Amino acid sequence: MKIAVVGATGRTGRLVVDLALAAGHTVTAVARDPAKVPAFTHGTPLTARADVGRPGSLHEALAGQDAVVAALGTAGRGATTVFSDGARELTAACASGGARHLVAMSSAGLDTSRLPFAQRLVTTLVVDRLYREIHHDLARMEALLAKSDTPWTVVRVPMLKDGPASARPQVAYDRPLPRAGTAARATVAAWILGHLGDEETFGRLVHLSDG
């Protein structure tokens, strides 16, 4: 499979690239500065320069890809459009380049309705205030993806951490998990790679955390 990873220099994006290389896929690491793409344990990816904030810059990088993984991030907690800009550019590039699946990372904080009361209260009073602007843009991203003709999957994750992948991750489709918990970046990367092209995930909000 030909896989492009947008945001390949981020901590989760790097893991997706390395796991995809280990599985024998042809991987393109897409970054604003390809010189910052690190060395990988399981091979060397192709690289492409693109910036989701620059209209049209993803078209060449995503042309001919079978699947695209968006592991976008932003520095700081202020107002941002990186996720919604990314969705706009990603969906346009996937449509023109023929990608059959687009997977984008989002936040479990967008829906806390099933959390226990005390945890929901803390989330509302603390977490949502800290990440409100990021959550607003992630919501805009999800709305843009929902209108796309390219099959998409949104993976909503809780607080991310380093460490090994969970052997039994918790997964829920189109509904939040009953506990916020945490997720290792390796768990998220492994789940995404294992479900590229999985039609069961198309058009779904997938909530994922460590078991």
| pLDDT at residue 119 is higher than 60 | no
State the pLDDT at residue 181.
Answer: 83
Tokens representing 18?
């390395």
The pLDDT tens digits of the residues spanning 166-185 come to 999 999 999 998 876 899 99
Instruction: Give a three-class secondary structure readout of 150-186.
Output: CCEEEEEECEEECCCCCCCCEEEECCCCCCCCEEEHH
For 141, residues 6+ apart whose C-beta sits below 8 A from its C-beta are 83, 84, 86, 87, 104, 106
| pLDDT at residue 129 is higher than 80 | no
The pLDDT tens digits of the residues spanning 156-171 come to 999 899 999 999 999 9
- pTM higher than 0.85: yes
The answer for 85, left when phi > 0, alpha when psi is -120 to 50, beta otherwise, is alpha
Cβ 20 vs Cβ 29: under 8 Å: no
Q: Give the whole-angstrom CA distance, residue 188 versus residue 156.
A: 10
Q: Which residues pair with 4 in a beta bridge?
A: 28, 68
pLDDT band of 125, cuts 50, 70, 90: low
Q: Which residues pair with 40 in a beta bridge?
A: 43
State the pLDDT at residue 87.
Answer: 97
- Arithmetic mean of pLDDT, 106-114: 78
CA-based torsion, 172, 94, 109, 71: positive or negative: positive
Tell me how crowded residue 126 is: count the other CB atoms within 10 A of its CB. 10
State the pLDDT at residue 120.
Answer: 55
